[in-house]
A and B are shown apart, each in its own frame.
Chain A
Amino acid sequence: KNEVEQSPQNLTAQEGEFITINCSYSVGISALHWLQQHPGGGIVSLFMLSSGKKKHGRLIATINIQEKHSSLHITASHPRDSAVYICAAEAGGTSYGKLTFGQGTILTVHP
Chain B
Amino acid sequence: NAGVTQTPKFRVLKTGQSMTLLCAQDMNHEYMYWYRQDPGMGLRLIHYSVGEGTTAKGEVPDGYNVSRLKKQNFLLGLESAAPSQTSVYFCASSYSKTAYWFTFGSGTRLTVV
User: Which residues of A are in contact with B by a Cβ distance under 8 Å?
Assistant: 30-31, 33, 35, 41-45, 48, 50, 86, 88, 90, 92, 94-99, 101-104
Contact = CB atoms under 8 A, between A and B. Distances in A.
B106 A42 contact: yes
A48 B98 contact: no
B88 to A, nearest CB: 9
Interface stretch (B20-28, B43-51, B69-77, B79-87): B43-51
A45 B103 contact: yes
A102 B37 CA distance: 12
B104 A90 contact: no
Contact of B99 (A41, A48, A95): A48
B104 A44 contact: yes
A34 B33 CA distance: 17
On chain B, which size bracket covers the interface?
A: 20 to 34
Given A30-B98, A48-B100, 9 more contacts: A33-B102, A35-B102, A42-B104, A43-B92, A45-B101, A92-B98, A96-B31, A96-B33, A97-B102
Contact of A97 (B43, B98, B104, B106): B98
Nearest to B42: A101
A99 B45 CA distance: 8
B42 A97 contact: no
Contacts of B48: 96
B98 A90 contact: yes
Contact of A45 (B96, B97, B99, B104): B104
14 contacts: A31-B100, A43-B104, A43-B107, A44-B104, A48-B100, A48-B101, A48-B102, A50-B99, A94-B97, A97-B102, A99-B45, A101-B42, A101-B43, A103-B42
